[in-house]
Structure 1
Amino acid sequence: MAYLEIILLVLAGLTLFLFALNYLSDGLKAISGDKLQGWLKTFTRTVFTSILTGVVVTTLLDSSSAVIIMTIALVNSGALTFRQAIGIVLGANIGTTFSSELIAFDIGKWAGVPMAVGLGIMILARRETLTQWGQVILGFGMLFLGLFLMEEAVQPLKHLPQVVNWMKGLAEPWIGALTGAGVTVLLQSSSATVGMSVVLAGQGLLTLGAGIAVMMGAELGTCADTLVASVGRTKAAVRTGLFHLLFNLLSITLGLLLIVPFTELVLLISKQAAVGRQLANAHVLFNVLGVLLAAPFTSRLAAVFERWVPDTISPPKRAVMSH
């Protein structure tokens, strides 16, 4: 019965967390209207501004997948070029780390406050904009309540040897990464996977090394829906989806090969912090380093992808010879 109670409570927390992510994203989209697409088109003239735009928009929407899928749609329509899209994709990888830093604050017990405030605004508001802001605040509260439910549910698992031993197995980098990728594909949210990892690390169920491996896997799993979004689109849109996949794949492979020195670097930077905070910091550091390594080579990378997936050119018509 104890197992069933744990499973049901984790399921309730996870469902609420995923619902809150979508609810929050919808609220922010409603507030911004068409401005987000306008920002993507306006502030992408250089690599730096493209990356910065990707960071800001992804932080606002709390979903790198949503931003990259929006970018693929804009590339498909011709509103953005593939080269502009590269910077946005890189920036989205950094922007998605904001939620893990927020989750690491461990403020789940206060979730009722923003929920009550948000609901109160929605009930009393006379203007649609205020109602939308109420939705955003309520969404934040539900997000933290979902995490709090999962955190409370997994506490008894610390005393179960089978669970502890399985969690220790995730410290094997490739196993941890495959688990993170699988969970992310299943949940369709890298934020949920990393969020759960931060919670489990905070409860002492995941070591920092295991959490980092799962986090890296989550970065790969999030490519699934962006790849699906690029199917059947223009060649430029397909290139955008492929770039997202290959960039994440290469950075994750490098990260897993160097996971020991990377973990030591994280410990050096945040050795006084709790394990959950260390994992959140590792998420930021991993994505920032990946972008810093790739940013100087965006023009060359764009040229390579344009050769691999060239735009379709109709063959010249042959002249008909009279006999």
Structure 2
Amino acid sequence: MFIILGVLGGLSLFLYGVTRLSISLKKLAGKRMKRILERFTSNIVMAVLLGILVTVALDSSSVTIILVIALVNAQVMALQRALAVILGANIGTTVSSQIIAFQVEVYASLLLVVGFVIYFAGNHKKTTKYLGLVLFAFGLIFFGLGMMSHAVEPLKEHHGFTSWIRYLESPPKGVLVGALITAIIQSSSATMGIVITMASQKLISLGIGITVMLGAEVGTCADTLLASIGRSREAIKAGIFHFGFNVVCVLIGLLFTDTIANVAATISPSNVARQIANAHMIFNIGGVLLFVAFIPKIDWLLDKVVPQANKKVIMAEN
């Protein structure tokens, strides 16, 4: 019970911190980000780079993709550029895994104190207050990770847990668990935070971390699919692309799990937590490089897959 409460408490702080961070960053730079997305997508390469930068700035690929779906729905952004931004968002989200793998929970208290002071020293200056909230939110995220890390440490000696971990050594089962966890908590960053934290305590192997990470890539599509419901045909195509791209990449990733693991281990030979973060980045960069050149053809395929509005209804209205 102590372990469960510790993990849930840490996860609650982590998720609340992610939510506050996303809200504060949108308040601080949301309108500016929207204008940047509208202006700086002149070509596919620029759109991918922009997707990376915006996702890093907003600390959420889901927020970036939902914003893109809204812009496509409003006919502000062309679909091919939107697809490229979505690809970039998939790379941008790996930055949080890299940050988590640095075991930054040691800085949690400092960020909480500095963020608190800046927030209350800001008086009526909204920009200063939101900056304080951003730092405070980062502190909550790191503090939550620290709580989870300390809570799971006794699991090293828990027979039931080690038996369950062996269950995850089957790649399809690991993917399923990763997808379910991410769909439930609505955050692939949180799933990766849990995985990297457990790896830092030597509770899971690199192979298990990779398969759960692959599942998280599928589970993260749930909120963007929901965001596309009831939108225009182009917006629905963007949501379907995100889901289809992630599923295809995961299926390919399952075939090359050993290769990804070997490359990640070569980069960081002795740190499993860092290896999982590296694998996350390698996988997403590889997926983008594999498909970015085919965006025009993917656009054509989506045009065939997603039906036009009911022609009979249109004719009847005319």
TM range (shorter): over 0.9
SS of the counterpart of 2:91?
Answer: helix
1:312 is paired with a residue whose SS is: coil
Question: What's 2:225 paired with?
Answer: 227
- Equivalent of residue 261 in structure 1, options 259, 262, 268: 259
Q: What residue number does 2:275 align with?
A: 278
Query: Where in structure 2 are there 5+ consecutive unaligned residues?
Result: none
Query: Number of aligned pairs?
Result: 314
Map 1:149-188; keep pairs closer than 5 Å: 149-188=147-186
After superposition, where does 1:24-35 map in structure 2 within 5 Å? 24-35=21-32
Q: Which amino acid aligns with 1:149?
A: M
Partner in structure 2 of residue 307 of structure 1 = 304
Distance 1:133 1:269 in 2: 34
* CA shift for structure 1 position 313: 7.5
RMSD, aligned CA: 1.4
Aligned CA distance change for structure 1 residues 33 and 295 (closer, same or farther; 3 Å): closer
Aligned to 2:248: 250
Deviation at 1:312, TM superposition (A): 3.2
Identity of paired residues, percent? 42
Q: CA deviation at 1:314?
A: 4.5
Name the aligned partner's letter for residue 226 of structure 2.
Answer: V
Taking the aligned partners of 2:264 and 2:9, their CA distance within structure 1 comes to 32
Which of 279, 284, 288 aligns to 1:287? It is 284
Alpha-carbon displacement from aligned partner over 1:264-299 (angstroms, at most 9, x marks no partner) = 22222322x410011001111100000000011111
User: Does 1:17 find its partner at 2:29?
Assistant: no
Report the CA distance between 1:33 and its aligned residue: 3.8
Counterpart in 2 of 1:41?
A: 38
Counterpart mapping for 1:77-88 below 5 A? 77-88=74-85
- Which of structure 1's runs of 4+ aligned residues deviate more than 2 A? 310-318
Contact map agreement 1:236 1:311 (CA 8 A) in 2: no
TM-score under structure 1 length normalisation: 0.94
- The answer to which structure has the higher helix fraction is 2
Q: Is the Cα–Cα contact under 8 Å of residues 260 and 282 in structure 2 kept in the other structure? A: no
Match of 2:133 among 129, 132, 135: 135
Equivalent of 1:192, from 190, 193, 203? 190
Deviation string, structure 1 residues 54-73 (Cα, Å, up to 9, x no partner): 10111111111111111111
Paired residue for 2:295, among 295, 298, 316?
298
Residues 45-60 of structure 1: pairs in structure 2 closer than 5 A: 45-60=42-57
CA contact (8 A) 1:168 1:207 kept: no
- Structure 1 gap segments, 5+ residues each: 319-323
Query: Could you tell me whether the CA contact under 8 Å between 1:180 and 1:193 is conserved in 2?
Result: yes
